[in-house]
């Protein structure tokens, strides 16, 4: 990450990353298939964390309310407040391949999260199709909120930005 932050994403090569990590290029590719995977490695466990947090929410809580509560708790856990996170966020915001890879990671979360949302009540269980639509919209809201948070240099409250985006979608 230090290489990406100092030299820029596009200017940093996998050979430089391997040398900086003290491993061979082949070993590096065993763990990371692309440079994008290195930057977005922090998202690897996020789907599971969201699923676990959803499971911990009250079973009778509606999908949108549960998602907002989870987003608020994850965003305020302290990991989103550092200058380093902002710098990584800027790289992601400015690099098309990272934005695309982020969307791909989010798509992978659907297998974990749709079943959790599908059993939550609205006035009745929402079902698989509705859960997929809610999740897709919620992830778009999360991306918008995160991008606005980064663009504002972290000055805004990330859960509030997410809540604002959710309110717009639900209006």
Task: Specify whether 29 is located in the same domain as 50.
Answer: no
Q: Over the stretch 29-62, which tens digit does the pLDDT of each residue have?
A: 898 888 998 888 877 778 888 999 999 999 888 8
Task: Specify whether 74 is located in the same domain as 144.
Answer: yes
How many whole angstroms separate alpha carbon 169 and alpha carbon 171? 6
- Give the confidence band of 16 by pLDDT, cuts at 50, 70, 90: very high
Note the pLDDT of residue 1.
84
The answer for residues whose C-beta is within 8 angstroms of residue 24's C-beta and 6 or more apart is 18
What is the model's pTM?
0.83
Task: Specify whether 62 is located in the same domain as 135.
Answer: yes
How many whole angstroms separate alpha carbon 72 and alpha carbon 33? 32
Q: How many separate domains does the chain show?
A: 2
- Give the residue with greater pLDDT, 165 vs 75: 165
Q: Over the stretch 92-143, which tens digit does the pLDDT of each residue have?
A: 889 999 999 988 888 888 889 999 998 887 656 567 888 899 999 999 999 9
Q: What is the CATH number of the domain that holds 24?
A: 1.10.10.60
The parent domain of residue 97 ranges over 41-170
pLDDT at 22 over 80: yes
Task: Specify whether 75 is located in the same domain as 122.
Answer: yes
Best CA proximity match to 36, nearest among 71, 76, 1: 1
Q: What is the CATH number of the domain that holds 110?
A: 1.10.357.10
């Amino acid at each position: 990450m230090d290489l990406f932050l100092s030299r820029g994403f596009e200017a940093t090569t996998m050979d430089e990353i391997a040398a900086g990590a003290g491993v061979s290029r082949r070993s590096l590719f065993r763990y990371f298939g692309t440079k994008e995977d290195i930057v977005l490695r922090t998202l690897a466990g996020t789907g599971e964390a969201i699923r676990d947090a959803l499971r911990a929410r009250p079973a009778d809580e509606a999908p949108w309310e549960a998602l907002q509560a989870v987003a608020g708790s994850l965003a305020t856990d302290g990991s989103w407040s550092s200058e380093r996170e902002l710098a990584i966020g800027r790289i992601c915001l400015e690099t098309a391949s990272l934005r695309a890879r982020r969307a791909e990671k989010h798509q992978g979360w659907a297998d974990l999260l749709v079943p959790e949302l599908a059993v939550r009540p609205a006035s009745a269980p929402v079902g698989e199709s509705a859960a997929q639509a809610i999740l897709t919209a919620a992830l778009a809201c999360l991306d918008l909120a995160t991008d606005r948070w980064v663009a504002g240099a972290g000055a805004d409250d990330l859960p509030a930005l997410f809540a604002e985006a959710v309110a717009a979608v639900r209006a």
